[in-house]
Amino acid sequence: MASESMKIPQATAKRLPLYYRFLKNLHASGKQRVSSAELSDAVKVDSATIRRDFSYFGALGKKGYGYNVNYLLSFFRKTLDQDELIKVALIGVGNLGTAFLNYNFLKNNNTKIEVAFDVDEGKVGTHISDVPIFHMNDLEKVIQDQQIQVVILTVPAPAAQSIADRIAQSHVKGILNFTPARLSVPPTIRIHHIDLAVELQSLIYFLKHYPAEND
């Protein structure tokens, strides 16, 4: 299964969750078929890219018929491991961290923040949205006991690298880094950086220099 998904280009793999979410909604509303044009309109990916993406997993849409929603859904469920619950830990229960705990990705039924960590004694021992907050002293033990696979980092930037070093010693497979710090991790860990300030600035840059055409 892992080797099968490895054949999919990374850019395609990144779009799978987007397709999956839309198809789930279509399925829930009772739709059996979807055309690449409809998909394109909904997920804002051009239809040639969608057709190429879908060809990687053997979904060949027929002209005037479209794609079979059930087939695609079961493929995505397998590929995205939607049947397996991925346990997530959050480190840094500040403003952003608290928002994630309240949100807790409940719409994605395969991911759940199980535990959170902080150094603030006022937060340790409390719960947010039923997620217990532990002290950083217990990091290694708790992530081992809870079989955490992914860590979300929402600590201040200067604290991030030393925490990443500690995580690298565990069996955690991935880090979603919301701090502006660029972190080094061993090749055994995958890290995705999401710098919201940079994203916002880049949007504003594009608005200024590449204004949307009026249609």
142 is in an annotated binding site: no
Contacts (Cβ under 8 Å, ≥6 apart) of 165: none
- Report the alpha-carbon distance of residue 173 to residue 187 in Å, rounded: 10
93 is in an annotated binding site: yes
92 is in an annotated binding site: yes
Which residue's CB atom is positioned nearest to ligand ATP?
94
Q: Which is nearer to ligand ATP, 29 or 95 (CB)?
A: 95
Going across the sheet that includes 127-128, the strands are 127-128, 131-135, 111-118, 86-91, 150-153, 174-177, 190-193
CB of 174 to ligand ATP, least distance (A): 18
List residues near ligand ATP by CB under 6 A.
91-97, 117-120, 136, 155-156, 159, 163
CB of 199 to ligand ATP, least distance (A): 17
174 is in an annotated binding site: no
Q: Which is nearer to ligand ATP, 57 or 117 (CB)?
A: 117
Task: List the beta bridge partners of residue 68.
Answer: 33
Q: How many helices (H) and strands (E) does the chain have?
A: 9, 9
CB of 96 to ligand ATP, least distance (A): 5
